[in-house]
Structure formats: C-alpha cells, structure tokens
Amino acid sequence: MNDQKNNNNTSRPLDALGQALNSQVLIKLKGGKEFRGALQSFDMHMNLVLNDAEEIKDGESICRLGVVLVRGDNIVYISPG
C-alpha cells in the first residue's frame, strides 16, 4: 500500500489557510451567514481573525464589521473571496 501523504496533489487544511494569509476569504457559517474579509490569523482549531470584515447576503455587503473573530466550530466552508 502506497503512502499518499507525500503526494504533491494533496494539502492539509491548515497549510491551505497559511497560504491564504492576508488574502480575501469568504466564510459561510452554520445558520447560513456569510462573511468576507482579509485573513489575518488562524489557529489549530480553525478559529479565524478577519480584517475589514463584512457580512454578505445574496452576494452583496450588508454590514461592515471591521476586525472579527470567527470560531472554527461554526465554519461550514472557507473559499477565496
């Protein structure tokens, strides 16, 4: 059985977040809320800090929030923003 961990086509989620630092990300939370902002930092639990965050509804910004801490347990997905 081959060890797939060293395959260059795969990456770990925290590595992907590391590559997204200081970039815009879109986050969807349980309950359906979405936020967009610049990923400032994260930890091993996927708790995130976003700068210049805004709440998004139907693709449009509805509220500017500034700096936001998002608990990792509430995140459904993270994508480039």
How high is the pLDDT of residue 7? 53
Does 21-80 carry CATH code 1.10.10.10?
no
The DSSP code for 24 is E
pLDDT tens string 24-75 = 999 999 999 999 999 999 999 999 999 999 999 999 999 999 999 999 999 9
Distance, CA of 67 to CA of 81 (rounded, Å): 16
State the pTM of this model: 0.80
Q: What values do phi and psi take at 23, rounded to 5? A: -110, 160
Domain boundaries, given as residue ranges, for the chain: 21-80
- Higher-scoring residue by pLDDT: 2, 41: 41
Q: Write the DSSP assignment of 39-66 as a string of letters.
A: EEEE-TT--EEEEEEEEEETTEEEEEEE
